[in-house]
């Protein structure tokens, strides 16, 4: 099951539903944004390009963030298929969202890198079906400026409203049917990415 962890699971690894050409990430929005996005495959004009947008390859981390689609302003859960080329462009042009003394020569240098990077990465504990933290981490990728524009205009292949799936899985978990809930989870195997793509993004 998705929520199980083993000793072989590395602490930091990208896991995502993906094909040879696309990777699926999740976001949650107010219905006035999420609804039109799912219907048209593009974000509506109400989607703010000047704000950082966070994409999450982990379905369960998205459920943790949006409360299974119950939090205000996050009632519509979207599965966004984007090109792997775009996803990896963002990783190559990202910096860590927090200061790491062993990686950065100083806080000032890290802040300069943060200011000029169109994307940022943070690694947060993965979640189980009860949204409890697991020992290994899940990638969160923040997009701003050029990265946000490329995401909206170039990388998106398709958008699906998966709110009904979130609601169904949540109901199963609440009724104690974890086995069935686990069977419905999107399968998120390790995402194949070259070591050099993540070399500048250790936690």
Tens digits of per-residue pLDDT, 93-126? Answer: 887 766 565 566 666 666 676 667 789 999 999 9
Please report the beta strands in 36-118, taking only residues with DSSP state E, as ranges in sequence order.
53-55, 76-83, 94-96
| Positive/negative CA dihedral, 17, 20, 23, 24 | negative
Strands 94-96 and 133-143, how do they pair? Answer: unpaired
CA nearest to 169, candidates 160, 158, 182: 182
What is the distance, to the nearest Å, from the Cα of residue 176 to the centroid of all Cα atoms in its chain? 27
Q: Is the pLDDT of residue 161 over 80?
A: yes
Q: What are phi and psi of 109, to 5 degrees?
A: -65, -40
Residue range 32-67, pLDDT digits in tens: 999 999 999 999 999 988 889 999 999 999 999 999
pLDDT band at 194 (very low <50, low <70, confident <90, very high): confident
pTM assigned to the model: 0.90
b/e for 154-191, b at 16 or more Cβ within 10 A? ebbbebebbbebbeebbebbeeeebeebbeebbebeeb
């Amino acid at each position: 099951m998705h929520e199980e962890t083993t000793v072989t699971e590395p602490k930091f690894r990208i896991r995502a539903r993906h094909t040879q050409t696309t990777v699926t990430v999740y976001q949650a929005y107010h219905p006035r944004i999420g609804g039109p996005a799912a219907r048209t495959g593009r974000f509506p004009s109400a989607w703010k390009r000047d704000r950082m947008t966070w994409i999450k390859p982990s379905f369960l981390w998205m459920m943790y963030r949006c409360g299974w689609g119950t939090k205000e302003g996050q009632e519509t859960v979207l599965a966004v298929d984007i090109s792997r080329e775009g996803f990896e462009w963002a990783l190559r042009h990202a910096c860590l969202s927090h200061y790491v003394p062993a990686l950065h020569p100083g806080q000032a240098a890290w802040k300069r890198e943060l200011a000029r990077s169109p994307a940022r990465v943070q690694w947060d504990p993965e979640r189980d079906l009860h949204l409890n933290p697991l020992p290994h981490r899940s990638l969160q990728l923040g997009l701003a400026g050029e990265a946000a524009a490329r995401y909206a205009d170039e990388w998106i292949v398709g958008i699906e409203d998966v709110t009904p799936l979130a609601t169904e899985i949540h109901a199963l978990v609440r009724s104690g049917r974890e086995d069935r809930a686990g069977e419905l989870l999107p399968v998120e195997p390790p995402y194949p990415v070259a070591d050099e793509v993540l070399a500048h993004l250790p936690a």
